[in-house]
Amino acid sequence: MQIQTSDCRLLTSFMIQAYNFLASWQLFPEKGTYENGERPKSGIYKIEAVPESKELVVYHNWVSLENNAFAANYKILADGELNHFDNHELADKVQATFSDSITFEVHFYKKGEVVLHVVHEIMPNGYLKITQQGKKEDGAAYTNSEIYHKQLSVLPYSASVAGALIRPTEEGMIKHKALTAMEEQTNMQLEQIRKQIELLALQAHEIQNGRTSP
């Protein structure tokens, strides 16, 4: 019973630290910096927790400037230990650690060396900053940085083999069009809310001026 209680406490602590990251995040393409690869046209980054475990599933979908859709996903055990990684093309070992409730790091290892370091940070404004550090094919180091905001709705995700890139497909483009339409609808709703707030602020200002005028 004591072991079960201890495990429950550890799992609860893990969920508290992971909570801020467990969401679907939408990319701000213009806010990123890319030393390796091209700036995408749009992107979605989603982190899910596997029930009753410290496992996380990461989904990453993006669309290039040429409207080519790509997708990748992988599962990691975020216990701070060096664990086996399924996609040996990318790495053979992975280490995922939560420094606190706003910082989450992943190290990918291949033949004992770090080939990719990914830092997830929750910024003061609530945005998610993802920094990737690795090496190009010529051995030169690079740093890519991306900024995401939390989505207000659940969007579809294309399936993929862990870590594999998916070339453009008709299904992928249909989902991208659906994503774009939902983004536009959300932006319209936010614009309407903004205008309503501005109108209410103006009315309140006029009422206040009416009270203070002689």
Tens-digit pLDDT profile for residues 112-137: 999 999 999 999 999 999 999 999 98
What global pTM score does this model have?
A: 0.68
Residue 103 CB neighbour total at 10 angstroms: 15
The two tokens of residue 135 are 């090496």
Tens-digit pLDDT profile for residues 51-77: 888 999 999 999 999 999 999 999 999
Q: What are the residue ranges spanned by the domains of the chain? A: 2-168
**Integer Cα distance of 18 and 150 in angstroms:** 15
Going 205 to 207 to 208 to 209, the CA torsion angle's sign is positive
* Element housing 70 (H / E): strand 69-77
Tens-digit pLDDT profile for residues 2-45: 445 656 776 777 888 899 999 999 999 999 999 999 999 999 99
Q: The domain 2-168 is classified under which CATH number: 2.40.128.20, 1.10.287.130, 1.10.3210.50, 3.40.30.10?
A: 2.40.128.20
